[in-house]
Each structure stands twice: as C-alpha cells, then as structure tokens.
Amino acid sequence: MAKVFIGVGHGGSDSGATGNGMMEKNLALSMALYCKAELVRHKVNVNMSREKDENDRLSEEIRECNAYDPDVAVDIHINAGGGDGFEVYHTRYGGKGKELAYNIEQEVIRIGQNSRGLKIRVNDEGRDYFGFIRETVCPAVILEAGFLDSEDRWIFDAPEEQRKFGVAYAKGILKTLGISWMPDNVSTVQAAIQTIRSKAGLEQQTIDYLMAYRYANELVIKLAAAMC
C-alpha cells in the first residue's frame, strides 16, 4: 500500500506567516487534514508531522518523514509578502519530485488559483536549499498555497476553500502514485460521521448538533481524518 508523509508548516510558538487575522500554522493544518482525509479515502497510508497546534521543528519533521519511509512527501505552507498565487518547490534534480510538483500544480490551477510556477532553490554549495527537500529520503515538495497578507487570501480563507486545496493536493499526489481518483460523494461524509461516532463515542444528538454548523461537511471530514 502506498505511503505519504504530510509535513505541516510551523506550529506552537511558531505561527509562521501572519496577516488579516490569520496564521499560517492554522491554515496549513486545515489543508493538511483535508489532504489526509482524501488520501485515506483512497486507501493510502498517511503520516503527518502534527495533527494539532504544537511545536514542530523542521529537524523533527524530517526525522519523522525518513523513519516512515514514504513514497512521496509534501510540506504544506502559506506565503506572505504581498504577492499572489500558488508556488511549489522541488529538487534541483527533477525526477519524481518535479513530477509530483507539476501534478499538484495542475490540480491547484483547476480550483481557480493562479500559479507562480514550479521552482527550485539552491544554496551556496549548489545543493537544494530547503532541508525538507534536501534531507528527506523520498521525493519531496514544498507547497505554498498563496499569500495570506494580500487579496490572494480570499481563495483559501474559509474551511470549504481550504478543503479544495487539500483535495487538490491529494489529487496531485494520487496521480503521481498512479492511483485513479474516485469522485467524492455523500458516502465520504457518512463514513466520516461513522468514524467520529465510533472513535469518540458521540451520541446522535451531538452529531446532529455538529451537522447544523455552516461548514459541517468540511468539519466532520477533518475531524475523522485526525482520528484515523
């Protein structure tokens, strides 16, 4: 069975980028949980660097990834600096990492986000600059969904939009792994509800209360992913 590692940018005392009342660490976690839920729905094994707000050092993230020995890895981030659009970093050597970057970029474009392109960055020694790309044992990419301190934020500032990004990331990963995407339907939400009910021991009244929330479907899918 295929294995994927999802790194979640920043966390705990490190908020990452901030702007317009939002913090990168929270948006990245939301997108990551939706990505995990979609991958799990396709029978992919997933490990995440964190599934709640906690300190998450890069060195520990890389160690966890390598110990898990996944087929591919992604590190989810949100940009800042007043720009616009999605961008993805991959290894300077191309190969599977570049293929993964391209497949994810194409899915992000399909949900309406602009793309700043596929990118590489090297250090003074000519090696990949980013540790998550340089030191992981598998093809790895760094995803920057957009800019939270500009008008770009409107495409990912709400839960249902964060889910679109998570699903887009998952679709790109699945294509790279050679796994056909299965269209989502009501059964996904029902399966999520069943997971929450069985693992948290919630009564139907509590479930009904959750489902009255404006973003209920997105909420239960995210909660179920965190419990898997």
- Residue bearing tokens 């009255």: 212
Integer CA distances (angstroms), 218 to 39, 50, 189, 198, in order: 15, 19, 8, 19
Looking at 144, 160, 161, 218, which residue is catalytic? 144
- HSE of 102, CA atoms in CB hemisphere, 13 A: 7
Give yes or no: 107 in active site.
no
Written in H, E and C, the secondary structure of 12-66 is CCECCCEECCEEHHHHHHHHHHHHHHHHHHCCCEEEECCCCCCCCCHHHHHHHHH
Active-site residues, by number, are: 144
